[in-house]
């Protein structure tokens, strides 16, 4: 019976692990930001005059609708990653948005009001080239899709295929564009590079070839890049070689007419490929006869096709970007021109005449820490007086979208670079002015007793003042309803809170833009765009100096490395304000193999960063005399390792006093059998509170806490499901000693791994059972410690005991991380990012290789959960309740000032920040703690004792008198 | 991005620096003592051992200890490896010459390294030519640890699943450098090596079979014992119901505004 009660007790105990939030706590400690990615296509919803939508299709394979008033996401559809979900084209007509997805694999139609799918059809295979609407008699009924060797026509209403036709001579001719002018014909334009253009016209009704033209064009190689259809079916191409435009009437078979640009009085910038920009606002009608020709990087010319003659309307120089926009029957051209160094001006011009429209100037202030404008999307509308008004959405190089209204009011900005966070760090906020004042007192050198006393008094006076101000504010705020108390966070009033729960999130994005985000509210406090970032750059962010060393400013260093060449640059900045540091980082002429942040500090409390180049020479940053001297003293105990996964080589090096290195160990894993996929050490800021585990019989099992231990994961090159395996090696990073070597047979990657304390947890795909499995390795020294005072890799002759256990996990996972707390007293949880967008907080207790298969008295004493092969997923373990995080790529954990609390940031397409309490909030009073009750009880007791004391005195006195 | 091809990491190491200084003082004393001894080298050549046995084959085990820490590897012994299902290894090695002994002590005095290396080999190959591969696997210990442990070291060779040698490790026992003097020359003559060859262990998968078996046993046991079959509530309802009632009543009274709920509960009670 006792057993049963105990079992139930354990079950009840398990239930208490639930740390789901209460309803009223939603959004109190957590926030989520949704992003869409770098915009590839954008269309304003024009079918209703007062519409507030802009539809965007992005390079992250997201199709979304944004609110043009606020910039918020109305709805969003996240497709598969990679080429499978790639959005090839976005066409918009009325309420329908037609998307071609996955290199022409799927054709989808969405209702733009609610974001619902109208229809979806699978297209025939073949690589996608182009798509367009096909209209007839002023109504748009069809979509034409051009593939490499076929063209097909689909009904817009239901997606059914009307006809599909093979393209003639598709082996030699590259068909690149499809066009329809609303006259019952569909034109496909193909080119044989440097030979001729082929134009095939199909009948809309039955797909019959009406005519087929071949025109010599030996100068043309790409239609999409240099041609456009203008007016009543006139193909206009630009040729940089002869500096001329070529004209071809699609309706009449003829030669191409050459019009030298010089004859129009135009000149092309040397080496520039001119392009033609035309507009076709209604697919049922032919394009407008006005078009732009870009003649140079900042030079555009508006031209008109008038009765077969090209007329120059207006010259725009300098002009950075141009765009056509149509509202009602009016078509305008928006031109962005630089005004001064920090601002651009936009103006509207009538497309027909090229005249500037009055009162249409709009100023776009460029962020000095942002990129240059890249694309311009114009939303034109008719005002009440029938004049044209407009708003613009500007896309800049740093993937930022800015929506501007006249005369230059920024309605919203979206930092889409944040959809691709690569790495991040959390930095403590600085102390408040008063706290800093107090700190400063200790920092300065003593100058006489009296002045020190005075200084102390003055600083304490300031503290008192601040405290009173704080109390006053508390009192003042308490009278207001909670919803009205708003603390706008700005960079000026940033300061550390009592428990260090608010931190600065420094985020590095793939586009090279850095962000400083307040962790409490998610406000972007600073941004800094680094231009000249190579597209395949690898980033490593290091905190060289924390905020703890007032008055020295905190300092972060970002190592940017080109993956191909290995050449690296350093960007040193202040993580609180985002400003570039005045310290000039060293130039790095050699490719960098490895970087390591030492716990050594220079006299300004900046940690020393060592960079190892391909000659195995080491350079230090900062490299002051003090640092070099320290390095010389410490050299013999500075070890590092290099991994060359292409050769399967792991090698260890030791630093010499002259900052050269020597190789001291080498492990080679033959690449024929397996390849190294990941090498993970432990986090340097991790603390382990208890050295061992108390067993059921009161003896202690000591943990093997090797700070230099590396977990190396390999995957077999043989992918056959019977022979594939995942290897796991535990190697000491100093001595190169292989501590443990295990093989998980019939398993495959991707392997996700967490390495912390004395354990390694990894997840893999079991090919035999076709499921995901978790495995945990724990290392113990045994019942006694070899050397309890200090750990040295060079003096631990006994190999540790390794325990391992595996479990079935009912879901695949995206990423894995472990919680981290200040002192490591709180029990650990694993944070598992699931592909569904949930983040699971899995107690480490469930991943314990000592979970017994047969329950004994001792294991119960230890509170071990009996082994069960399946790991549960409980919905109350989802720390982000219904706030799903799309495509989680990484989870970052940071300790807070409270031991119970760990800050968590999950990033992927979205960013989600929250706090977790793995052992519940044992050091914090609850939110709904009844202060009134406890204080009234205290007061009542106090008065009761006072009164009873008095009464007792009176009684004693009376008795004495008797 | 899970892995960068040269993953950077920081490895902090604590080592005593004072110790090496002390050692250097001791070793100069030792050097004077050394000169009086006459070295007896039994003169067995390594080449003799190289005659491979039927299934085994031999590779050299080399070591290096130099005062200036520039590796110069010399033959220390010969490893005889036997391939097969369970690979085995044996080692025949020379004694340390007097010259080497003094050098080892000198190296220990300056806190130099004692390195070993073995060539990369493939154990499961049939022919000698296929066995040898390019490159070496290296490992090290501090020379002082080697001296203080009187040349008793533990060498482990690690292979991967298919029989390639991937790493070698060496530790001495005891492993610490305490700066104790090694007076007796004989202690530094003969290697006392423990040698092992280790293949990767098979990591366990989820233990479903055992778990199911246990579940069945439990079910059976419950089936036999009808007393156990009763649920928790069925057995203890007489304790639970009053407890729950009591909690409900007290809870209802606690809430000042919850008069209606409390009233209903009371009514139910009557």
Task: Point out the residues of chain A with pLDDT beneath 70.
Answer: 1-20, 253, 433-447, 480-492
Residues in chain A, total: 962
Closest CB to B161 among A664, A725, A794: A725
**Rounded-to-5 percentages of helix, strand, coil across chain A:** 15, 45, 40
Asked if B234 has any chain A CB less than 8 Å from its own CB, the reply is no
Which residues of chain B neighbour A664 with C-beta distances below 8 Å? 113, 115, 138, 140
Beta bridge partners, A505, equal A426, A517
Contact A668 B167 (CB under 8 A): yes
Task: Please tell me which residue of chain B has the smallest CA distance to A730.
Answer: B200
Give the pLDDT of residue B92: 87
Q: Which of A736, A807, A854 sits opposite B167 (nearest CB)?
A: A736
Q: How far is A420 from chain B (nearest CA, A)?
A: 12
Residue keyed to tokens 């707390």: A821
Angle at A168 between CA A166 and CA A170, to 5 degrees: 85
The distance of A750 to chain B (nearest Cα, Å) reads 9
User: Which of A583, A585, A588, A576 lies closest to A604 in space, CA to CA?
Assistant: A583
The number of angstroms, rounded, from the C-alpha of A337 to the middle of its chain's C-alpha atoms is 32
Cα A294 to the chain's mean position, in Å? 35
Cβ–Cβ contact A670 with B under 8 A: yes
* Any A CB within 8 A of B4 CB: yes
How far B36 CA lies from chain A's nearest CA (Å)?
A: 33
Q: How many CB pairs under 8 A join A and B?
A: 215
Instruction: Say how far apart CA A541 and CA A526 lie, in whole Å.
Output: 17
Per-residue pLDDT tens for B191-249?
888 899 988 999 999 988 888 888 898 889 887 765 555 677 777 888 888 888 888 88
Residue to substitute from A755, A794, A809, interface B, most B β-carbons within 10 A: A794
Burial class of residue A166 in the structure, from the number of CB atoms within 10 Å of its CB (0-12 exposed, 13-18 middle, 19+ buried): exposed
Which of A:576-615 have CB within 8 Å of B?
593-599
Are A663 and A653 in contact by the 8 Å Cβ rule? The answer is: yes
Give the up-direction half-sphere exposure of residue B225: CA atoms within 13 A in the CB hemisphere: 10
Confidence (pLDDT) at A387: 86
Listed by number, the residues of chain A in 164-203 with a beta carbon closer than 8 Å to a beta carbon of chain B are none
Q: What is the pLDDT of residue A368?
A: 84
Phi, psi of B102 (to 5 degrees): -65, -40
What is the C-alpha separation between A36 and A131, in angstroms, rounded?
Answer: 23
B104 touches B97 (CB < 8 A): no
Kindly tell me if the per-residue pLDDT of B270 is higher than 60: no
> Quick one: closest CA in A to B9, which residue?
A596
Determine, for residues B160 and A796 on separate chains, whether the beta-carbon distance falls below 8 Å: no
Contacts of A734 in chain B (CB under 8 A): 11, 13
- Chain B interface includes A664 (CB < 8 A): yes
Do A684 and B12 count as a contact with CB atoms less than 8 A apart?
A: yes
For chain B, positions 98-157, list CB contacts with chain A under 8 A: 111, 113, 115, 120, 122, 133, 135-142, 145, 154, 156
Residue range B34-40: mean pLDDT, rounded: 33
Report whether A666 contacts A651 (CB < 8 A): yes
pLDDT at A800: 92
What local confidence, expressed as pLDDT, does residue A482 receive? 58
When mean pLDDT is compared over A303-312, A698-707, B170-179, B260-269, the highest value belongs to A698-707
Judged by CB atoms closer than 8 Å, whether chains meet at B201 and A643 is answered as: no
- Distance of alpha carbon A477 from alpha carbon A485, whole angstroms: 7
Nearest by CB: B139 against A665, A708, A790: A665
User: What are the E-state strand segments in A429-546?
Assistant: 503-509, 513-518, 524-529, 537-545
Helix H or strand E encompassing A875: none
The answer to whether residue B42 scores a pLDDT higher than 50 is: no
Q: What is the dihedral of CA A871, A872, A876, A880, to 10 degrees?
A: 50
- Strands of A822-874, DSSP E: 829-833, 839-843
Interatomic CA distance for residues B206 and A881, integer angstroms? 29
pLDDT band at B18 (very low <50, low <70, confident <90, very high): very low
Q: Say yes or no to pLDDT of B267 above 70.
A: no
Residues of B whose CB is below 8 A from A740? 201
Instruction: Count CB neighbours of A506 within 10 A.
Output: 24
> According to the model, what pLDDT value does residue A35 have?
94
Chain A CA closest to residue B153: A797
* Distance (Å, whole) CA A645 – CA A670: 10
- Please check whether residue A309 touches B, CB under 8 A: no
Q: Is the pLDDT score of B1 beyond 50?
A: no
Written as six digits, the tokens of A333 are: 């051209």
Tokens of A165: 């036709």
pLDDT digit string, tens, across residues B77-101: 888 888 777 778 888 888 888 888 8
Q: In which order are the strands placed within the sheet that holds B201-202?
A: A674-680, A709-716, A725-732, A738-745, B201-202
Q: Is B176 on the interface with A (CB under 8 A)?
A: yes
> A787 touching B, CB under 8 A?
yes
Res. B70: pLDDT tops 90: no
Map tokens 């490719």 to a residue. Answer: A591
A775 touching B, CB under 8 A? Answer: yes
Question: Does B201 sit within 8 Å of A742, measured CB to CB?
Answer: yes
The two tokens of residue B65 are: 């200890």
The crossing angle, in degrees rounded to 10, of helices B98-109 and B18-34 is: 150
End-to-end CA distance of chain B: 68
Residues 6+ apart with CB under 8 A from A163: A152, A153, A206, A207
* ipTM metric: 0.78
Close Cβ partners of A885 (under 8 Å, ≥ 6 residues apart): A32, A833, A837, A838, A839, A906, A907, A908, A909, A910, A911, A912
pLDDT at position A560: 93
Q: Tell which of B200, B208, B254 to mutate to test the A interface (max A CBs under 10 Å).
A: B200
Beta-carbon contacts of A488 under 8 Å, excluding residues fewer than 6 positions away, are: none
The pLDDT of residue B265 is 37
Question: Smallest Cα–Cα separation from B165: which of B192, B191, B132, B193?
Answer: B132
């Amino acid at each position: 019976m006792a057993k049963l009660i105990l079992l139930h007790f354990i079950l009840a105990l398990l239930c208490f692990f639930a740390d789901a939030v209460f309803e009223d706590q939603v959004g109190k400690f957590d926030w989520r930001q949704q992003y869409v990615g770098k915009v590839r296509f954008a269309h304003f919803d024009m079918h209703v005059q007062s519409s507030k939508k802009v539809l965007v299709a992005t390079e992250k394979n997201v199709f979304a609708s944004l609110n043009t008033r606020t910039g918020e996401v109305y709805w969003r559809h996240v497709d598969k990653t990679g080429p499978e979900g790639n959005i090839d084209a976005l066409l918009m007509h009325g309420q329908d948005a037609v998307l071609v997805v996955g290199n022409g694999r799927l054709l989808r139609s969405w209702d733009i009001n609610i974001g619902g799918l109208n229809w979806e059809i699978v297209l025939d295979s073949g690589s996608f080239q182009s798509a367009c609407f096909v209209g007839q008699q002023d109504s748009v009924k069809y979509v034409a899709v051009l593939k490499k060797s076929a063209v097909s026509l689909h009904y817009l209403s239901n997606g059914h295929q009307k006809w599909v036709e093979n393209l003639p001579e598709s082996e030699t001719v590259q068909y690149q564009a499809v066009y329809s002018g609303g006259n019952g014909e569909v034109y496909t334009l193909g080119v044989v590079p440097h030979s001729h253009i082929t134009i095939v016209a199909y009948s809309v009704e039955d797909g019959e070839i009406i005519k087929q033209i071949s025109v010599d064009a030996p100068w043309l190689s790409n239609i999409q890049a240099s041609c456009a259809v203008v007016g009543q079916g006139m193909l206009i191409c630009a040729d940089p070689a002869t500096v001329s435009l070529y004209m071809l009437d699609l309706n009449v078979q003829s030669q191409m007419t050459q019009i030298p640009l010089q004859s129009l009085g135009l000149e092309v910038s040397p080496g520039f490929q001119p392009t033609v920009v035309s507009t076709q606002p209604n697919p049922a009608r032919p394009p407008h006869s006005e078009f732009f020709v870009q003649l140079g990087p900042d030079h555009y010319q508006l031209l008109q096709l008038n009765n077969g003659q090209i007329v120059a309307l207006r010259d725009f120089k300098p002009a950075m970007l141009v765009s056509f926009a149509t509202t009602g029957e009016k078509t305008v051209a928006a031109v962005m021109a630089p005004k001064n160094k920090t601002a651009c001006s936009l103006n509207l011009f009538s497309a027909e005449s090229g005249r500037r429209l009055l009162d249409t100037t709009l100023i776009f202030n460029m962020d000095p820490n942002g990129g240059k404008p890249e694309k311009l999307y114009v939303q034109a509308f008719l005002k009440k007086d029938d004049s044209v008004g407009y708003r613009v959405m500007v896309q800049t190089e740093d993937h930022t979208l800015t929506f501007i209204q006249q005369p230059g009011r920024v309605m919203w900005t979206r930092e889409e670079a944040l959809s691709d966070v690569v790495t991040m760090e959390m930095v403590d906020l600085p102390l408040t002015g008063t706290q800093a004042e107090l700190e400063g007192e200790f920092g300065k050198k003593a100058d006489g007793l009296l002045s020190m006393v005075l200084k102390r008094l003055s600083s304490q006076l300031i503290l008192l003042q601040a405290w009173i101000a704080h109390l006053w504010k508390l009192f003042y705020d308490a009278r207001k309803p909670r919803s009205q108390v708003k603390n706008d966070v700005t960079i000026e009033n940033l300061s550390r809170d009592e428990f260090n729960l608010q931190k600065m999130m420094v985020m590095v994005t793939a586009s090279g833009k850095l962000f400083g985000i307040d962790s409490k509210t998610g406000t972007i406090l600073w941004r800094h765009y680094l231009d000249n970032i190579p597209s395949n750059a690898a980033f490593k962010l290091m905190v060289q100096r924390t905020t703890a060393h007032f008055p020295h400013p905190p300092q972060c260093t970002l190592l940017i490395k080109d993956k191909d060449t290995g050449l690296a640059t350093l960007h040193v900045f202040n993580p609180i304000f985002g400003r570039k540091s005045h310290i000039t980082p060293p130039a790095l002429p050699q490719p960098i193999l490895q970087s390591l942040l030492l716990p050594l500090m220079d006299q300004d409390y900046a940690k020393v960063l060592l960079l190892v180049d391909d000659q195995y020479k080491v350079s230090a940053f900062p490299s002051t005399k003090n640092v070099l001297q320290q390095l010389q003293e410490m050299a013999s105990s500075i070890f590092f390792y290099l991994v060359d996964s292409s050769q399967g080589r792991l090698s260890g090096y030791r630093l010499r006093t002259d900052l050269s290195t020597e190789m001291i160990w080498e492990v080679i894993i033959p690449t024929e059998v397996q390849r190294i996929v990941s090498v993970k050490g432990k986090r340097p800021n991790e603390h382990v509170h208890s050295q061992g585990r108390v067993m059921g019989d009161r003896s202690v099992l000591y943990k093997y806490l090797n700070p230099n231990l590396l977990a190396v994961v390999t995957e077999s090159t043989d992918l056959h499901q019977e022979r594939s395996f995942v290897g796991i090696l535990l190697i000491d990073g100093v001595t190169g000693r292989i501590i443990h070597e295990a093989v998980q047979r019939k398993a495959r990657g991707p392997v996700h791994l967490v390495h912390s304390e004395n354990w390694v947890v990894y997840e893999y795909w079991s090919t035999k059972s076709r499921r995901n499995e978790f495995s945990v390795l724990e290392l113990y020294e045994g019942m006694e410690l070899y050397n309890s005072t200090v750990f040295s890799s060079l003096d631990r002759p006994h190999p540790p005991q390794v325990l391992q256990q595996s479990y079935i996990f009912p879901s695949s996972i995206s990423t894995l991380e472990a919680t981290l707390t200040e002192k490591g007293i709180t029990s650990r949880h694993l944070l598992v990012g699931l592909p569904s967008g949930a983040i699971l907080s899995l107690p480490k207790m469930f991943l314990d290789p000592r979970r017994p298969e047969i329950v004994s008295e001792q294991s119960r004493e230890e509170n071990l959960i009996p082994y069960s092969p399946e790991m549960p997923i409980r919905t109350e373990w989802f720390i982000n309740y219904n706030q799903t995080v799309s495509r989680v790529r990484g989870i970052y954990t940071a300790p807070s000032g409270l031991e119970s609390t760990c800050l968590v940031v999950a990033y992927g397409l979205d960013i989600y920040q929250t706090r977790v309490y793995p052992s519940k909030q044992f050091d914090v009073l609850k939110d709904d703690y009844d202060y009134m009750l406890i204080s009234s009880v205290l007061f009542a007791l106090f008065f009761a004792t006072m009164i009873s004391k008095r009464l007792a005195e009176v009684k004693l006195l009376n008795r004495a008198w008797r | 991005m899970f892995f960068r091809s040269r993953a950077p990491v920081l490895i902090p190491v604590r080592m005593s620096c004072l110790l090496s200084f002390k050692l250097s003082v001791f070793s100069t004393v030792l050097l004077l003592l050394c000169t009086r001894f006459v070295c007896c080298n039994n003169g067995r050549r390594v080449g003799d051992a190289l005659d491979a046995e039927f299934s085994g084959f031999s590779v050299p085990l080399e070591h290096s200890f130099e005062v200036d820490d520039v590796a110069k590897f010399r033959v220390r012994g010969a490893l005889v490896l036997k391939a097969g299902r369970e690979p085995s290894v044996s080692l025949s090695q020379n004694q340390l010459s007097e010259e080497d002994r003094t050098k080892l002590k000198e190296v220990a005095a300056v806190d130099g390294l004692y390195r070993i290396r073995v060539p990369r080999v493939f154990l499961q190959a049939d022919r000698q030519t296929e066995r040898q591969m390019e490159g070496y696997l290296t490992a090290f210990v501090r020379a002082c640890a080697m001296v203080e442990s009187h040349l008793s070291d533990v060498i482990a060779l690690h292979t991967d699943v298919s029989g390639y040698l991937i790493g070698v490790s060496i530790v001495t026992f005891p492993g610490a450098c305490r700066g104790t003097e090694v007076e007796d020359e004989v202690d530094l003559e003969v290697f006392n090596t423990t040698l092992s060859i280790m293949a990767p262990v098979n990591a366990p998968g989820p233990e479903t079979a055992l778990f199911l078996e246990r579940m069945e046993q439990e079910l059976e046991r419950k089936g036999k014992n009808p007393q156990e079959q009763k649920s928790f509530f069925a057995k203890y309802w007489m304790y639970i119901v009053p407890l729950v009632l009591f909690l409900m009543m007290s809870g209802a009274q606690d809430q000042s505004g919850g008069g209606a709920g409390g009233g209903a509960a009371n009514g139910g009670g009557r």
